[in-house]
Structure 1
Amino acid sequence: MASIELRAVEKWFGTVQVIKGVDLRVEEGEFIIFVGPSGCGKSTLLRMIAGLEETSRGQILVGDRDATAEPPSKRGLAMVFQSYALYPHMSVRDNMGFALKAAGEPKDRIAAKVEEAARVLKLGDYLDRRPKDLSGGQRQRVAIGRSIVRDPTAFLFDEPLSNLDAALRVEMRYELAKLHQSLGSTMIYVTHDQVEAMTLADRIVVLEAGRIAQVGTPKELYERPANLFVAQFIGSPKMNVIPASAVGQGGGAAQDFGIRPEHVDIVPPGQGDLDARVDVVEYLGADTYVIVEAEGGAGRMTLRDLGNAPHRPGQAVGLRFAEGRGHLFDAAGKALR
């Protein structure tokens, strides 16, 4: 287990710069998640840490060692890919121990490490099966087990759950959280799914066009976004953003006003901060999302209400914003408070 530090790292493909001077320190035992839209550079940055992509400029330190020029095999890192990449003709036991066997490890040591990894991952009953006899979640656990047996300095995950269906993703999120608690290892994880990020990470790194937009705990990013990009990327449904002038906050540098869907109450018309008309009602069981068209140039907004909320399309309503829950942003999108 070791810390990982990036110092002004850049990545160029010819004349195109895709990573633009990233500085980041991942502490020992920390679970860090990179999120961002497609093309923001999150997978490229992970591959640079792994040594699968050359670092054009800057330094990558693993522990106290400068690993910038080291090949992947020398960095002591284990990478788990989106694709399981298991050998179909081998048993789970042989798949998990293959790297150790190739490195010439003694058979008894390989067996002990495989058994221990299988215990942690609840794969003990599947060691003699082949990959075709496993579910998608079990195959992904085998891929993770193949990394665990190597005792890596850190684990790197590149969208490991994206091939699974929704139910399996929920199950594997739980298992990854328990795995991190059990191993206490440094983990860096890439995903486009903000739910994975919010539920798994100690800290989240939000990337935008090759730069870090903000780093913080899930709570910090949700409650105190540094800019408009983070405010709307983190949270589902995303934060409502309307002209600050629509709610009487347009003075000074404020250009936009943001508020989360759960921080808007529906009240009778004329008794809130804005009036609106219900456009669409989305019933989801415990919650109902009410999509409205607000007056005063505010436009479309999404509100979260109780699942049994009796709203209907065409209904005139008032919108009351929870005190102290609004966010103001300047013309460049920077948070003002």
Structure 2
Amino acid sequence: MSSIKLNGVEKWFGDLQVIKGVDLDIEEGEFIIFVGPSGCGKSTLLRTIAGLEECSRGEILIEGQDVTAKPPAERGLAMVFQSYALYPHMNVRDNMGFGLKTAGAPTSEIQSKVDDAAKALKLEAYLDRRPKELSGGQRQRVAIGRSIVRNPTAFLFDEPLSNLDAALRVEMRYEIAKLHRELDTTMIYVTHDQVEAMTLADRIVVLRDGIIEQVGTPRTLYERPDNLFVAQFIGSPKMNIMPCQTDGDRYQLEEGRGGAQTQKGIAVYLGVRPEAITLGDVGQGQCDGVVDIVEYLGADTHLLVDCGSLGAIGLRVDGNTAVRSGDKVGLVFDPEKLHFFDAEGQALPRS
């Protein structure tokens, strides 16, 4: 188990700067997840920590030791990739123990560590099978097991579940969460799936264009986003953003009604999450609209309401709510769950 510290880390590919001075402290045993849109640099940053990409500027410390110039093999890290990269001619046992075998470990040690990893990952019944005889989830568990037997100081995961179907992704999320609890080892995980980030992470690092926009617990990012980008990136359906005016005590929606302000400062944007809006009669609440799309999901129903100049506003309501496309409705905002942002998109402090 190890701490990892990044000080001013930059990564350049020729004249293109992909990572732009990242500072980050990762505590021992912490589960950190990098999220962000495609091209934000999350995988590049992970590979730079692993030593698979050269750090152009800055330093990387593992357990207080500067490893910036060290090759991957000397960093004590284990990486699990999106592709399983298993040897097709080897069975599961040999795939999991191959790294130890090439390092010259005794046969008894290899067998013991493989057996322990197989037990943790529920792979005991598959040790004599070859990869082609396994499901996608089983193959990914073998790839994780191959890393476990090395007893690394930290695990690095680069979108390990993206090749799996939805049901297997849910299953593997449980497996990885359980594995982290049992191993109590530092883990850094890259994903584009915010559900994975919200359910697995101790802290989430939100990246955009090679910089960190915000670092915090899933709850902090959801309830206290620092800016408009984080507010709309975290949460599904995403937060509704509307233009507004404030006078310090109240807010007024453009082409809509207003209410009491809950944050101080001159706000030009109001943010409200879909579940913080309830349906009312026309004339009630902060604005009126016409239901455009109804998506029934069982326990929940997602609505898209056309509110004219305010745009389309999304709601998450109870699945039993009786509403149809074309219905005219009023939208009532929960005053305790409003977010206000200034002209630069920065969140205003709560009053």
Give yes or no for TM over 0.5: yes
Contact 2:202–2:217 (CA under 8 A) maintained in structure 1? yes
Contact 2:77–2:154 (CA under 8 A) maintained in structure 1? yes
SS in structure 1 opposite 2:337?
coil
Question: What is the distance in 1 between the residues matched to 2:171 and 2:189?
Answer: 17
Question: What is the distance in 1 between the residues matched to 2:111 and 2:293?
Answer: 58
Tell me the CA shift for residue 254 of structure 1.
1.0
Question: What is the distance in 2 between the residues matched to 1:24 and 1:277?
Answer: 46
Q: Which residue of 2 aligns with 1:335?
A: 347
Supply the AA of the counterpart residue of 2:157. F
Question: What is the distance in 1 between the residues matched to 2:265 and 2:235?
Answer: 27
Alignment of 1:4-23 (within 5 A): 4-23=4-23
For these two proteins, the number of residue pairs brought into alignment is 336
Q: Which residue of 1 aligns with 2:289?
A: 276
Q: Which residue of 1 aligns with 2:267?
A: 254
Question: What is the distance in 1 between the residues matched to 2:239 and 2:85?
Answer: 38
Question: What is the distance in 1 between the residues matched to 2:193 and 2:270?
Answer: 25
Q: Which residue of 2 aligns with 1:170?
A: 170
Structure 2 unpaired stretches of 5+: 246-252
Q: Which residue of 2 aligns with 1:152?
A: 152
Tell me the CA shift for residue 252 of structure 1.
5.4
Q: Which residue of 1 aligns with 2:95?
A: 95
Q: Which residue of 2 aligns with 1:325?
A: 337
Which of 310, 317, 329 does residue 298 from structure 1 map onto?
310
Structure 1 residues 248 and 135: alpha-carbon distance in aligned structure 2, compared to 1, 3 A threshold: same
Contact 2:265–2:348 (CA under 8 A) maintained in structure 1? no
SS in structure 2 opposite 1:311?
coil
Q: Which residue of 2 aligns with 1:309?
A: 321
Question: What is the distance in 2 between the residues matched to 1:270 and 1:330?
Answer: 28
Identify the range of structure 1 (312-321 vs 140-149) with the bigger mean alpha-carbon deviation.
312-321
Supply the AA of the counterpart residue of 2:28. E
Alignment of 1:1-337 (within 5 A): 1-245=1-245, 246=253, 247-248=257-258, 253-295=266-308, 297-337=309-349
Tell me the CA shift for residue 271 of structure 1.
1.5
Question: What is the distance in 1 between the residues matched to 2:45 and 2:240?
Answer: 30
Question: What is the distance in 2 between the residues matched to 1:230 and 1:273?
Answer: 24
Contact 2:290–2:305 (CA under 8 A) maintained in structure 1? yes
Supply the AA of the counterpart residue of 1:257. L
Please, what is the CA RMSD of the aligned residues? Answer: 1.2
Question: What is the distance in 2 between the residues matched to 1:226 and 1:181?
Answer: 30
Question: What is the distance in 2 between the residues matched to 1:43 and 1:318?
Answer: 44
1:147-206 per-position Cα deviation (integer Å, ceiling 9, x unaligned): 000000100000000000000000000000000000000000000000000000000000
1:2-25 per-position Cα deviation (integer Å, ceiling 9, x unaligned): 000000100111111110010001
Contact 1:282–1:290 (CA under 8 A) maintained in structure 2? yes
Identify the range of structure 1 (8-17 vs 28-37) with the bigger mean alpha-carbon deviation.
8-17
Question: What is the distance in 2 between the residues matched to 1:183 and 1:205?
Answer: 22
Structure 1 unpaired stretches of 5+: none
Tell me the CA shift for residue 248 of structure 1.
3.9
Which runs of 4 or more aligned residues in structure 1 lie more than 6 Å from their structure 2 counterparts after TM superposition?
Answer: none
SS in structure 2 opposite 1:142?
helix
Question: What is the distance in 2 between the residues matched to 1:271 and 1:49?
Answer: 53
Contact 1:88–1:131 (CA under 8 A) maintained in structure 2? yes
